[in-house]
Chains A and B, each alone.
With several copies, the nearest count.
Chain A
Amino acid sequence: MSTISAKALRRSMQNFLPSLAPVRFVAEDGTPEKPPPGYRAPDDALLREAYRRMVLGRRFDTQASALTKQGRLAVYPSSRGQEACQIAAALVLREDDWLFPTYRDSVALVARGVDPVEVLTLLRGDWHCGYDPMAIRVAPQCTPLATQVVHAVGMAEAMRRKGEEGVAMALIGDGGTSEGDFHEALNFAAVFASPVVFFVQNNKYAISVPLARQSAAPTLAYKGVGYGVRSEQVDGNDPVAVLSVLTVAVEHARAGRGPFLVEAHTYRMDAHTNADDATRYRDAAEVERWRAADPLDRLETYLRARAVLTDDDIEADRSDAESLAADLRARMNIAHEGDPLELFDHVFAEPTPQLREQRALLAAEFTAQED
């Protein structure tokens, strides 16, 4: 009856299934590998730029971690080790595309062009996200897991329905894929054929919980199949591969061919946040093994071998990175409290009478204290 035919089913399955091995262009030692068909290497200029952003990104990340020790940030979730993913996510998007990041994606935001201080606004203890999401087309970094993924579908639908060409990219972690909202987002996007890319950074841990306790799927990329969403897996520490696969994904979505799910196999080198103690749940040896897969080293070797990157380039990038860090330190060292009375200003467009009363009350308290 209305059941799909076996032939059609086999064909449609082939459309959804990811590669059997993660897509890879560059081996861990930096030597080239043959990628599967359908993927092109990004051009050298883009790779050069990616390298630069990765160097800046990593410096930003270590600086932010350092700032937590000085109490300048309330908390910081580092993405060290995930730079290939972070940078690629930003670089494959156009200005009119949208990014829906999580708390761990600060480096992607910096790469997208958000002022680093604004990126850290929430984490330094303000109640708002710092930047103007509408202006730069980056949603506020999202903490409630997987909730942002549905927003990305909504934004993709908004763009599609307005006849715009934009694509929305939703970032999510391996753990986040367990949440119901992830499922609802994939299903909606598939049914509406929304121009959205779901980019899973599988960094192997959700705080302390390892992937094996999070999912029994062969790989997370297989999560697309049950929705009819085209899926792919990629070596998340190979910047060339991540750029290549995400480019295909974004083009697929932009061409109106529906959503695309990408799983990047990567690793969270640091603890979950500065407040976490990763030795309680994982071996130092495991972390060491992943050090050999460092995405910066890998790209450096690869680009040097192709003579796209010189010692001078590297020197220049490092120096830019130091400037970024110095600037960040300087600007973050200015203590910032915020005006308590502003707390009432953005609850509604117009404060309710009750909020006006409460504001007046707080103002009166301050006046009394000053007296």
Chain B
Amino acid sequence: MATVTMAQALNTALRDALTADERVLVFGEDVGPLGGVFRITDGLTRDFGEQRCFDTPLAEAGIVGLAVGMAMGGFRPVVEMQFDAFAYPAFEQIASHVAKSRNRTRGRVSLPMVIRIPYAGGIGGVEHHCDSSEAYYAHTPGLKVVTPATVEDAYWLLRDAIDDPDPVVFLEPKKLYWSKQDTDFATRHAPPFGRAIVRREGSDATLVTYGPSVPVALEAAEVAARDGRGLEVVDLRTLVPFDDETVAASVRRTGRCVVIQEAQGFAGVGAEIAARVQERCFHSLAAPVLRVAGFDIPYPPPKLEHAHLPGVDRVLDAVDRLQFDDVPDVRHLIVGAA
């Protein structure tokens, strides 16, 4: 057992995948000698050679399109988009090819590939470097969408993603890159790909969340516990496939639910979760499913992140509002994404 950061876990996962499967390739912008702007690919070119980990010219559509052709040719490309908003130039390749190839060839051309994207905020980044873009991908049929919240999950979910027969958009919460955990990767403790996990048990309400907001939810639960309120925290881990079973079971037990996401609220993944939960658990619910989300504004600048990001206070506030009537009062609405 050693203390490992999420960044190291991802690096180790890439190394182990490169070792385990010679079809695995890593490429993107600055992933070679520099080791990526977040150093996730540190040392891979040195240790596995130019053939296995290499820099491309700057062109995100090109990188994803190249990966499509290479996956057709038998490789398993793991490409890096440098930042969330810099994956947008590749959107057509992702939506019209990566997501659809298996379907439009009746299963003959599968595209096992991983598109790694550092995403979300909380690190004081300037514009275009903090977008939470998960909804764009999760809404696109044919893509699996994953976001780890712990060091162990970072390792195992990335290994799973690389082994997966389908294309996976792998969203890495930037602010958790330096989070730590005592672990080794000799034995697997992480649940299977596609399953959510209850990170903390509680009986008064369920917090459903993923990626960068998981630590926020856990902290909120910790604070609430001191006040005698038991909050259950569900970490989705994969947004697609979505684990209805774990989520619904928890909400049926607690009868209350708050959904937490960093992304702007409107038509985000949180909306989907809220919609699903009330569809499935309506008669178990003592209160509406509330959402705590980013505001419907472009991601704010470093000094104002704190006002935007769903933090512990806003989560606890939402929990406090889980049993009111429906007078159209502003305090009543979802926090952050009303």
Contacts and interface: CB of A to CB of B under 8 A. Distances in A.
B228 interface: no
Interface stretch (A28-36, A174-182, A244-252): A174-182
A122 B126 contact: yes
B164 to A, nearest CB: 8
B274 to A, nearest CB: 15
Given A347-B102, A352-B240, A150 B301 contact: no
B126 A175 contact: no
A364 B329 CA distance: 13
Given A154-B73, A176-B58, A208 B32 contact: yes
A159 B73 CA distance: 7
Mostly, the A contact residues are helix
A149 B243 CA distance: 37
Contacts of B55: 208-209, 213
A281 B337 contact: no
A346 interface: yes
B72 A184 contact: no
Interface of chain B: mostly helix, strand, loop or mixed: loop
Contacts of B330: 357, 360-361, 364
B69 A178 contact: no
Contacts of B67: 154
Interface stretch (A37-45, A125-133, A309-317, A324-332): A125-133
B57 A150 contact: no
Interface stretch (B106-114, B178-186, B250-258): B106-114
Contacts of B244: 353-354
Nearest to A176: B58
Given A144-B128, A159-B73, A188 B62 contact: yes
Nearest to A139: B72
B37 interface: yes
Contacts of B335: 361
A14 interface: no
Contact of A361 (B89, B302, B336): B336
Contacts of A338: 301, 303-304
A153 B69 contact: yes
B58 A209 contact: yes
Contacts of B202: none
Contacts of B57: 175, 178, 184, 187-188, 191, 209, 213-215
B56 A140 contact: no
A188 B304 contact: no
A203 to B, nearest CB: 14
A188 B65 CA distance: 10
A185 B68 CA distance: 12
A144 B85 contact: yes
A168 B73 CA distance: 11
A281 B128 contact: no
A133 B105 contact: yes
A358 B337 contact: yes
B336 A127 contact: no
A348 B51 CA distance: 29
Contacts, number: 270
Nearest to B294: A358
B96 A128 contact: no
In this complex, which of B62, B64, B93 has the most chain A Cβ atoms within 10 angstroms of its Cβ? Answer: B62
State which size class the interface on B falls in.
Answer: 35 or more
Contacts of B33: 208, 280-281
B296 A214 contact: no
Given A125-B302, A129-B105, A352-B241, A178 B62 contact: yes
Interface string B234-263: 000000111111000000000000000000
Nearest to B65: A150
A353 B303 contact: no
A150 B10 CA distance: 28
A207 B126 contact: no
B144 interface: yes
A178 B166 contact: no
Contacts of B103: 127-128, 346-347
Interface in A116-142: 122-123, 125-129, 132-135, 139-140
A151 interface: yes
A181 B89 contact: yes
Contacts of A344: 295, 297
B241 A353 contact: yes
A85 interface: no
Contacts of B29: 206-207, 209
Contacts of A350: 165
B122 interface: no
B191 interface: no
Contact of A348 (B59, B129, B142): B142
Contacts of A358: 295-297, 336-338
A135 to B, nearest CB: 8
Interface string B278-307: 000000000000000001111011111001
Contact of B301 (A126, A134, A353, A362): A126
B296 A147 contact: no
Interface string A135-174: 1000110011101011111111111011000001000000
Given A352-B240, A354-B296, A184 B61 contact: yes
B303 A132 contact: no
A340 interface: yes
B223 interface: no
A49 interface: no
Interface in B295-338: 295-298, 300-304, 307-308, 313-314, 330-331, 333, 335-338
Given A133-B109, A155-B69, A355-B297, A206 B34 contact: no
Q: Which 6 pairs from chain A and chain B are nearest by CB? A: A154-B69, A158-B73, A150-B65, A184-B62, A208-B34, A352-B241
5 contacts: A150-B93, A181-B61, A184-B62, A188-B57, A346-B106
